[in-house]
Amino acid sequence: MLRLPSFTYLQPKALQEALAMKADAGPDGMYVAGGTDLYPNMKRRHQEPRTVISLMGIPELRAVGRSGGPTDGGVTLGACVTLTELSASPPVRQSARAVGEAAGLVSTPLLRNMGTLGGNLCLDTRCNYYNQSYEWRKAIDFCMKKDGHICWVAPSSPRCWAVSSSDVAPVMVALGADYVLVGPGGERVVPAARFYHNDGINYLTKQPDEVLAAVRLPAPDGWDAVYHKLRRRGSFDFPVLGVAAWVKWERGAGSRERGRVVEARIVLGGVASWPQEVPEAGAALVGTDLSDEGVAAAADAAYRPAKPMDNTDFDLSWRKQMTRVYVARALAELGQRRRAAT
Ligand SMILES: Cc1cc2nc3c(=O)[nH]c(=O)nc-3n(C[C@H](O)[C@H](O)[C@H](O)COP(=O)(O)OP(=O)(O)OC[C@H]3O[C@@H](n4cnc5c(N)ncnc54)[C@H](O)[C@@H]3O)c2cc1C
Ligand code: SF4
């Protein structure tokens, strides 16, 4: 049995209190929300904080509400909203159903009851050579991501290729959501796409002391989005491929016209160390009405730069081929929805 190491557990009731506790703990301190990623990682000695600061007792991090100001009409989600709450939230279902659907596809009901939005968006990157017990990793002399020097996936590579495996992050990037970060220097807002690095070790641009406090979803304004997920067991597993597709329809395309796409984003999860946007795929959709030719062109454009590595489940060349299939399926769903609405 894998056991947790001993650590000090703190339960602040306010954000400023959490920041002060983290400052006191220094690099040996970490935040935790649902703990469904951090605690298994601590058992395998991936992360070894001596002080763990729970964010779950901070009321403002658990709120869901309509946004004011520039994102008027959008929804603001507290980072400690659970995935179960997110998937059932009426404002999310009305304004950004792809977010709730992606949250509902994470793992199992038990993990969704504990796991939070913030934890999902800050999820550690994953790799077959890393998500193993300490003894297993020791037997291969560890790897660059923790305790070692070499990458077993690409031994001549200077970087780690561990994979971004969050289901909700690709959707946030596709939607153009904003993340609200609060740290010792105050609050800053970053677009979801700028929150991630394509590096398996330094995969977040967030500073360790910063708390991801909230996520602001854009107002519904003629756009639609979907998320499709490929995994071995539909009831349980991490994505080996996630496809988030977002399209904005031309203004004025009324209920009797099908209209054309004026802007689009395709973002892939599970194929790189960050949610990977493929701008060529989005560009291929502009001016189309999501008919078969437009969909095929975008699926082909998404397939070409997708370079999954041999460090998760399934054969990597098959996973690459599935990119084309899953992008086409996601776009077909958006097209069908549009046709049903007109
Ligand atoms: C068996 C199993 C299957 C899983 N399947 C999936 C899956 O299919 N898809 C998927 O996406 N995930 C999956 N997960 C991972 C995980 O359960 C979810 O991603 C969950 O949403 C993580 O949230 P959490 O609150 O439990 O994170 P935690 O474990 O609490 O935290 C994760 C990381 O984020 C940091 N963090 C958390 N909240 C904040 C915050 N507000 N500000 C700053 N830092 C923060 C923590 O310090 C930690 O580094 C799975 C996990 C397990 C164990
Ligand atoms: S990609 Fe390489 S360095 Fe990164 S976790 Fe896997 S084996 Fe380790």
Residue 203: CB within 6 Å of ligand 1? no
Phi and psi (nearest 5°) for 25?
-75, -25
Calpha distance 308→312 (Å, rounded): 9
> Tens of pLDDT along 176-220?
999 999 999 999 999 999 999 999 999 999 999 999 999 999 999
Beta strands in the chain (DSSP E): 8-10, 29-32, 51-54, 64-66, 75-78, 178-183, 186-191, 211-216, 223-230, 241-249, 261-269, 276-277
Report whether 260 contacts 289 (CB < 8 A). yes
Q: Which ligand is nearest to the CA of 230?
A: 1
Q: What angle do CA 50, 55, 59 make, to 5 degrees?
A: 160
Report the nearest-CA residue for atom 49 of ligand 1. Answer: 38
Q: Which ligand is nearest to the CA of 156?
A: 2
Report whether 29 contacts 49 (CB < 8 A). yes
For residue 53, give both structure tokens. 């600061």
Residue 308: CB within 6 Å of ligand 1? no
Calpha distance 244→34 (Å, rounded): 24
Residue 151: CB within 6 Å of ligand 2? yes
Nearest atom (ligand 1) to Cα of 238 = 8
Residue 214: CB within 6 Å of ligand 1? no
SS3 label, residue 78: strand
For residue 282, give both structure tokens. 């989005």
Calpha distance 98→116 (Å, rounded): 16
Task: Give the pTM.
Answer: 0.97
Distance 34 CA to ligand 1 centre (A): 7
Residue 143: CB within 6 Å of ligand 2? yes
> Tens of pLDDT along 29-67?
999 999 999 999 999 999 999 999 999 999 999 999 887
For residue 98, give both structure tokens. 């792809």
Residue 79: CB within 6 Å of ligand 1? yes
Whether the pLDDT of residue 306 is over 90: the answer is: no
> Tens of pLDDT along 119-166?
999 999 999 999 999 999 999 999 999 999 999 999 999 999 999 999
Distance 117 CA to ligand 1 centre (A): 8
Q: Which ligand is nearest to the CA of 130?
A: 2
Q: Rounded to the nearest 10 degrees, how much is the dihedral formed by the CA atoms of 269, 224, 105, 123?
A: 40
Closest CA to 244 of 225, 231, 230, 263: 225
Alpha helix segments (H runs only) across 157-234: 168-175
Q: Which ligand is nearest to the CA of 308?
A: 2
User: Can you give the C-alpha Rg of the chain in angstroms?
Assistant: 20
Report the nearest-CA residue for atom 32 of ligand 1. Answer: 119
